[in-house]
């Protein structure tokens, strides 16, 4: 299963147009991401990132909805792990 995560572009490096990259924030975790597939992306845009490549631009509402789903999934895993432990909920 592949998973692409939304993140917000906080800076762009345009030194090499064919190798355009940017720093993308994933809830405060910063990663260097290739922006080659989204040449129109700019600072402040949200992008969907998979294996270090921004694949598309999404609006902030869609990005936030996806992040909320991921957070809910993480909370569900924590509940399941807690229930599996002796003395868990």
CATH number at residue 35: 2.30.30.140
d(CA 26, CA 50): 12
- Residue 6 near residue 66, CB atoms below 8 Å: yes
Cα→Cα distances 21→4, 12, 86, Å: 17, 6, 47
- Domain residues for 18? 5-84
Q: For each successive 10 residues of the chain (89 residues), what is the average pLDDT?
A: 88 88 94 96 97 97 91 79 64
Question: Could you give the residue ranges of the DSSP H alpha helices within the chain?
Answer: 60-84
* pLDDT for res 85: 60
Q: Per the structure, how many domains does the chain have?
A: 1
């Amino acid at each position: 299963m592949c998973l692409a995560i939304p993140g917000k572009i906080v800076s762009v490096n345009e030194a090499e147009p064919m190798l355009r990259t940017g720093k993308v924030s994933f809830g405060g975790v910063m990663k260097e991401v290739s922006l080659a597939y989204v040449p129109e992306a700019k600072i402040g845009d949200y992008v969907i990132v998979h294996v270090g490549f921004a694949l598309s631009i999404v609006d902030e509402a869609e990005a936030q909805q996806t992040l909320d789903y991921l957070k809910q999934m993480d909370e569900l895993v924590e509940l399941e792990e807690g229930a599996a432990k002796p003395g868990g909920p």
